[in-house]
Structure 1
Amino acid sequence: MTVMSTLMARQFGLPPAETTDVRVQRDLRVPMPDGVDLLADRYSPRGRDRAPLVLARSPYGRRGVWGMLFGRLLAERGFQAVVQSCRGTFGSGGTFDPFGDERADGLATVAWLRGQDFYPGSFATAGPSYLGFTQWAIAGVAGAEHRGMATQVTTAALHHMIYAGGSMSWATMTAWMQDMERQQGSFSLLRRIGGRKRLGRALRTLPLTEADRVASGHRVEYFQQWLAHPGIDDAYWQPRQFADGVAAVDTPVSMVGGWHDFMLPWQLRDYAAMRDAGNPPQLTIGPWQHADEHSIRGWMADLFPFLGAVLTGSERRAAPVRIFVTGAEEWREDAQWPPAGASALWYLHPGGLLATAPPVESEPDRHPYDPADPTPSVGGPVEPAARPRVDNRELEARADVLVYTSELLGEPLEVIGVPSVELFVTSTAADVDVFARICDVAPDGTSINISDALCRVRPGHEGPVGFELWPVAHRFAAGHRLRLQVSGGAFPRYPRNLPGTTGSGESSGFAASERQIHHDPARPSVLRLPIPDGGSELG
């Protein structure tokens, strides 16, 4: 046991260590079919060479925090762990091509494990984010010996996350690209810290194809490929997309997510696919971001009981689903997600009113959209350095943001599930973005964002614009108000919508446009809220 492992175990509330004597084997060479070797470190409790085995495959290194969380801390609690660096990272051979090689490399690594003296006959996989994606890459095809997947803040549907709503998760993916390009080599931490200013410039860069050079100092081939291949049906995505196979996975899966994590909607779609196929995962969702301290505590609280259950036969937790309800500030347990319930319809009305009564004859509301002064992103599922829920009043005061607010709620209103909107939108531009956001308005006027999403509407679209917002579990208190924002973007979370924009971000210029939001009986724009049984659906 080291000082660091002791401190981290205490910080994350881990179960007591079974041993302080851990053997670490560094830089084990794992051969791939194409002749490349990937490097791995093995952590094992000394004297237990065939302890239950956990595999973690990471592009972020196998030492430091990753070796501690998914190596040493596991070994101190009776497991052996192999932490491998993905292709092209931290000494592993080949070229890092995000998401593209993980199935072949993962299966080759499993084959190598089977040939080792320490292999106990079965294994589990573990890890968050990209480490979770490497698990989905081999899910269902690694054999019956794959006994469990401990996944956190991840999804099998990477394309849908990268191209959220038909636009691109611009700030998230550009920041990730920059971090990946700066994480290796001398003074990598200083270079990553110094890169924040460059990132700001990169997010504002046009065309988009120049952003990688601004952020990292050089062309990044995989970033260029993302921009050149936005469509899910493009051949580029076929070896990088495993969502279609999720329903067939019969391996036990644990999912830990956060309400403010940028992967949550697609993680819950993975959950739904397995649930509907009769193999519902264990699910935990807390009030966390992608990888903040609270999120990591949630991962680790779930990790050891789950691995013990699938590898050693210890008892699984009683409640399959455990979620934190914001506003109520309490944990709830249930048999499934979302809980049983119904939808409540809240209609947009003239004068900025949001109400359960159907709309009346009225003129549409109008708002401008100017890519030279784009509607900014405020709060939301962002990087851990920023606050996910903030006061939106300054944003709502802008001319390019429409606001619809309910009367005072006479009783608490619980919303648990996936809200959605159906908005009748017309525009002077053929290609538009529609951003919708739910806020909780306190008696003092503070307007806190709760759930949102963006939808890119392509030329030729007819009828209402319908799309799902962020999954949510929130209680609106009596005396508060429910609010819906509608605008034309959230920059730089999503890129600016420019007239004539191609996938590479080339554009004919910064032309402003006007959008109309209709709310009359023939074109009723509506917010749909998932209300659990026993929750109020009236204001």
Structure 2
Amino acid sequence: MTSRTHGPVPRPAWAPPAGKPPLASRMMRATWRRLPARLHDAGWEPGLVVPAADGSPLITDHYFPRAEGDFPTLLVRSPYGRGVPWSPMYGLLFAEQGFHVVLQSCRGTGGSGGAFDLWRNEAADGRATVSWLREQPWFNGTLGTVGPSYLGYVQWALAMDPPPELKAMVVQVGLHDPYALFHAHGALRLETALAVGVGMTYQHQGMAPFLRATLRLQRRLRDVITAQPLRGAYASALGGEVPWLDDVMTHPDAEDPYWRGASLAEAAERLGVPTSLITGWHDTLADQTFEQYDRLRRAGCETALLVGPWTHTSALQQGWPEVFAESLAWLRAHLCADPSGLRPTRVRVHVGGENAWRNLDDWPPATAVSPWFPTAQGHLTRQAPTDSAPLTSFCYDPGDPTPSLGGPLLSRTAGPRDNSSLEAREDVLTFTGPPLTEPVDILGPVSARLSISTDTGHADVFTRLCDVDTQGRSVNICDGLGRLRTDGQEPSQITVPMSSTAHRFAVGHRIRWQISGGAHPRFARSTGNGESPVDATAFTPVRITVHADSALVLAMHARGSGLGPAGNG
């Protein structure tokens, strides 16, 4: 790799324009700390036109090291524009480290021609862009991809039929399944749908229009989420109708033909391109990242996983020094034959409660599956019940839905939060274990095996793992929502995945299991009567009864039993 240039900057043999990157990008670059020292000055060649698969012009900016040398190329395709923060985070920073960076606006966004159609054009347009790259005098035939969220989706699209030049991928808080972004087992992820609607509609227009649209949605959010019917209610908050948003909200069935071809899971099942995956424990796409990792491992693909104490957005803010260093090390190793920055293990996770990083050989690590059972007294115990009798019940009223609090959201309220106010509600059940006498580590997937009966036959069940400290503060760790169809008063069994975690419950802390009938507006409220949440104009309160053979299932590793003298609450 060429060392940093000093004195007059030599112009590469292919003689690009000597323009500096945008001022706003350079100003943001100056505010970052804990990043590697730059190796080169960066140049900028804006407004290049790349023909899409159908000939539509894809507007593209080219960032490059202003130095002689043979440098690999990174392809970054985005529906969010090419300005701040994408220009400094990907164009400027990676060019300074010795990469050509092609930052391109997806079809129908950021000045590119054609119409944006969520997910349907990315594979063909990615291949068209690689064809264009082959004609560029500075392209040396070595290609990598990098980017977060939907910028991860376009990477998986290219990986469905990877070009021979593609030698490495870095998928940061990345998407591969749009259905799972918008729905959880048929329940609409309402708050996420609205946030994505604003981002996709306005962010590519620039930060000012995007911020105005975000503030407008915040002001009108309550009117939108309580509208009856919900269909179309977002239009006033988003400044008009968004056809693709209507479509994703009104197709809750994963098997609906509408979603055919949307998931790119198949790419990871046969991929041979070394791929680094990055997520956070409170990332709304964390589960998709764990799925990607599992598929890549089963396919024998070289892969690495980094999981930090981040949400979807904070991974690219507070977590950016770690995310950038991880991404840079992977790309240097596989595009520049420089593995010096790689860590010694495949997996690195941040352990909550311990507030420390831990290197692991794989994910999930080998742990014991440990069920914890609720009691009628509100305790959580290791002792299995002797029957499936009803334990306790609560009434979920769609007219006053249980609110959402923290967790994997796209808003500033995401992440760990004090759940005390939520748990004080009559429609929220809690089952709490005894104070721990030794630390207990939970490393891996968490789930709930629920035995539930209802009086209407229709309900959602939201289930959450919390850490209760010595002062009684209850903080959410991970959670999940399941949809129930019960047969009268007879209990139905459902397993609700609650994502995964790496968390240490300290001495004196208690494990808490929280159960309720929803988390609104994170999820559209259950109607209680089987009607579509999008079209319903009437709601039915539902009584939800939890039975004794329900269990919270933890991937648990403890130095000892960790339990108090009685072994229960």
Question: Contact conserved, 1:49 with 1:118, CA < 8 A, in 2?
Answer: no
The residue aligned with 2:553 is: 528
**Structure 2: runs of 5 or more not aligned:** 1-19
Of the candidates 17, 37, 44, which is equivalent to residue 24 of structure 1?
44
The residue aligned with 1:299 is: 323
1:493 aligns with 2:513: no
Aligned AA for 1:386? T
Aligned in 2, Cα 1:446/1:55: closer, same or farther, shift over 3 Å?
A: same
Aligned in 2, Cα 1:352/1:504: closer, same or farther, shift over 3 Å?
A: closer
Greater shift, 127-136 or 198-207, is seen at: 198-207
Aligned AA for 1:14? L
The residue aligned with 2:338 is: 314
Aligned AA for 2:295? A
Of the candidates 279, 289, 298, which is equivalent to residue 301 of structure 2?
279
Question: Contact conserved, 2:179 with 2:254, CA < 8 A, in 1?
Answer: yes
Alignment of 1:102-141 (within 5 A): 102-141=122-161
The residue aligned with 1:333 is: 359
Aligned AA for 2:98? G
Alignment of 1:180-199 (within 5 A): 180-185=200-205, 187-188=208-209, 189-199=211-221
Aligned in 2, Cα 1:7/1:197: closer, same or farther, shift over 3 Å?
A: closer
Alignment of 1:508-519 (within 5 A): 509-519=538-548
Deviation at 1:344, TM superposition (A): 0.9
- Find the residue that maps to 1:470 and give its secondary structure: strand
1:231 aligns with 2:253: yes
Deviation at 1:274, TM superposition (A): 1.0
Question: Contact conserved, 1:342 with 1:533, CA < 8 A, in 2?
Answer: no
What is the aligned residue count?
A: 534
The residue aligned with 1:86 is: 106
Greater shift, 449-458 or 1-10, is seen at: 1-10
Greater shift, 31-40 or 126-135, is seen at: 31-40
1:429 aligns with 2:450: no
The residue aligned with 2:228 is: 206
Deviations 1:105-141 (A, max 9, x none): 1111112112222211120000011111110111141
Deviation at 1:531, TM superposition (A): 1.6
Determine the C-alpha separation between the residues in 1 that align with 2:514 and 2:472: 15
1:64 aligns with 2:84: yes
Of the candidates 4, 7, 32, which is equivalent to residue 11 of structure 1?
32
Deviation at 1:190, TM superposition (A): 3.1
Question: Contact conserved, 2:398 with 2:539, CA < 8 A, in 1?
Answer: yes
Q: CA RMSD in A?
A: 2.1
Deviations 1:354-410 (A, max 9, x none): 100111455431100100000011111123522521211211111111111112212
Deviation at 1:151, TM superposition (A): 1.0
Alignment of 1:28-67 (within 5 A): 28-48=48-68, 50-67=70-87
The residue aligned with 1:507 is: 536
Aligned AA for 2:337? G
Deviation at 1:234, TM superposition (A): 2.2
Of the candidates 364, 369, 394, which is equivalent to residue 343 of structure 1?
369
**Structure 1: runs of 5 or more not aligned:** none
Deviation at 1:238, TM superposition (A): 2.1
The residue aligned with 2:195 is: 175
Deviations 1:307-354 (A, max 9, x none): 111100111332111000010111000110111111111111111111
- TM-score, L = length of structure 2: 0.89
The residue aligned with 1:477 is: 506
1:99 aligns with 2:102: no
- Find the residue that maps to 2:514 and give its secondary structure: strand
Determine the C-alpha separation between the residues in 1 that align with 2:108 and 2:394: 48
Question: Contact conserved, 1:531 with 1:537, CA < 8 A, in 2?
Answer: no
Of the candidates 416, 425, 431, which is equivalent to residue 443 of structure 2?
416
Aligned in 2, Cα 1:508/1:61: closer, same or farther, shift over 3 Å?
A: closer
Question: Contact conserved, 2:440 with 2:558, CA < 8 A, in 1?
Answer: no
1:385 aligns with 2:406: no
Greater shift, 265-274 or 524-533, is seen at: 524-533
Of the candidates 465, 482, 500, which is equivalent to residue 438 of structure 1?
465
Deviation at 1:508, TM superposition (A): 5.0
